[in-house]
Amino acid sequence: MNLRALSLIFFIALTGSESLFAENRYHFTVHFADSAASDRSLTLLIYDKSYLPYLESMLPVKKMDAQLKNGKYTFDLVLPDPACVFSLRYSGGILLDRFVAEAGDSIMIWCKSKGNEFSGRNSIKYTLMEDLSRRLKTVSDSLSNSTIGEVLSLKNKGDSAVIRTQEIYFRNGNELSGKLVDALDRFRKQVSPVCYDLLAAEMIGKSLKAAASAALFYYTNGNLKSSKKNFDKTLILLQKYNKLTNKDLQDTYSFSPSYMEFAFEELSLESFLTKGKLNYYDVANQQYVGFMKDKLITHNLLLSIDQVSNLDSLMKAETRHIQFQPYRKLLSEISKKFGDGSVAYNFNLENEHGQKIALDKFQGKLVYLHFWFKGCIPCAMLFSNTLAAIENRYKDNPDIVFVSISLDINKLTWINAIRENKYTSEHAINLYTEGEGFDHSVCKAYGVNGAPAPFLIGKNGHIISRNIYDLGGGIHPDSKILMELIDKNLKGIGR
């Protein structure tokens, strides 16, 4: 970020009075000393215990904008829990990234060109978090630089080389988390037990998430053959470098957003490697307890709404394992709202010519709807592997229309992408989310958290399917399934 000589004064006053302490009262003031202060905005992101990764449209991270008065930015709120993780963003970037806040802190922060300085009650905790953030980047860069030559030498040299690359990523992540936790241990007696556990969870999660995610990506993008031999080798690596915590700490670690992101990637990888023996929910129920198990099961159920045909029965079967009532309620609502047969949301969006197009304009027609954005490789694969040919097959049929909704932020990027004929065609009805991307109300209405996200909507305006595998997506798309589904519903046999 461009600090110039700004001497940012960031004041956090978590009041120490007994009554407000009991309420988890959290108040802080931010003062920019430079003249550009009025051009800045500050937003507090609060990761409460219900946070689930990659599900912003269903469970958005709680956000709070600062109040600007007399040149100072202030926040005044009640923490959702006695300790929680937060980030502070401004218009130019991130000031504090996933720090641990506790009632009773009273901190003054000076943000200078050489870094942040902290003073006040419990300031040692903030100094420690700042140090860990620096170490995370420094050690990560060092490990990457020391192994980049080996990684590049293994490129395009077969499955054994890919397995070796997976091991390098796991090893680096394990070494990184070890160094960070060692650094944290030196301050163990100077922070609260809850703060220590949350910080340890954050460091482990940030260090290892990428390794688990990359290992799974090698299989799903086709770089590594899906075979029992390869699965067994990756599973050995996973077990060797496993950092999933013991069950005694799971409830505390479940409050860490970075750890939950890692746990989900790790669990997804393990269930993928053991498929045919154990599914995701089997592994979750065996390895996890309490609130962490609730979060992992809920998270996967919500991410599965566009990947299964039996959403209602899956929801009912797995919800019985969940104790946290807000999750049970959310899953019930999602099943009703997004299940096959639910009414499709009647959006009204602009096309490339600036004309507003509403879904109900196509009442009485079959609608193939898909969400995408430029640069999305799976979006391009859906179009090239399946959708382009399907559009061409039905181009003269007046009873079906193809609607494409771009999630691009930049309007010109969207317009140029239409002309590329790589993600959508110029013959489709191309619409735009007005620069809001995944934050647009249409994404929330359809539960779109990623792309591509295809839907088949019946002549009566009800959703026939949102299953990406039935609608031409996935690693090995089968256009025949989609054609049969379209033909059946064009004839009126389906919904």
| Look-up of token digits 């309490």 | 290
> What distances in angstroms separate CA 52 from CA 209, 269, 294, one per listed residue?
15, 18, 11
pLDDT value of position 359: 96
- Band (456; pLDDT cuts 50, 70, 90): very high
Q: How many CB atoms lie within 10 A of CB 51?
A: 24
Distance between CA 243 and CA 453 in Å, rounded? 33
Burial 20-43 (b: 16+ CB within 10 A, else e): beeebbbbbbbebeeeebeebebe
Q: Which domains does the chain have, with CATH numbers?
A: 8-120 (2.60.40), 128-303 (no CATH), 348-490 (3.40.30.10)
> What distances in angstroms separate CA 68 from CA 25, 33, 65, 74, 79, one per listed residue?
20, 14, 9, 7, 21
Provide CB contacts within 8 A for 276, sequence distance 6+: none
61 phi, psi to nearest 5 deg: -65, 135
The mean of the pLDDT values for the chain is 84
pLDDT value of position 489: 93
pLDDT value of position 115: 73
Q: What is the pTM of this model?
A: 0.78
The model's pLDDT over 253-291, given as tens digits with 9 standing for 90+, comes to: 999 999 999 999 998 898 888 876 678 888 888 888 899
What the block records as the tokens of 439 is 């934050």
pLDDT value of position 40: 60
Highest mean pLDDT among 121-125, 152-156, 362-366: 362-366
pLDDT value of position 404: 97
CA 365 to chain centre: 34
**Of the candidates 288, 148, 177, 169, the residue with the CA atom closest to the CA atom of residue 234:** 169
How are beta strands 25-31 and 72-78 bridged, if at all?
Answer: antiparallel
Does residue 68 register a pLDDT over 80? Answer: no
pLDDT value of position 493: 56
Q: How many CB atoms lie within 10 A of CB 413?
A: 13
pLDDT value of position 406: 97
For 17, what's the count of Cα atoms within 13 Å in the CB-facing half-sphere? 6
Of 46-55, 203-212, 373-382, the one with minimum mean pLDDT is 46-55
Q: Is the peptide bond before 477 cis (omega within 30 degrees of 0)?
A: no
Mean pLDDT value across residues 114-134:
84
Mean pLDDT value across residues 177-183:
93
- Band (28; pLDDT cuts 50, 70, 90): low
Of 94-108, 162-176, 257-271, the one with minimum mean pLDDT is 94-108
Distance between CA 483 and CA 86 in Å, rounded? 47
Say which DSSP state 453 is in. E
Question: 427: helix, coil or strand?
Answer: coil
The model's pLDDT over 368-420, given as tens digits with 9 standing for 90+, comes to: 999 999 999 889 999 999 999 999 999 999 999 999 999 999 999 999 999 99
The model's pLDDT over 319-346, given as tens digits with 9 standing for 90+, comes to: 888 999 999 988 888 877 776 678 899 9
Whether 391 and 425 have beta carbons less than 8 Å apart is answered as yes
Distance between CA 360 and CA 221 in Å, rounded? 37
- Band (17; pLDDT cuts 50, 70, 90): very low
Say which DSSP state 342 is in. P
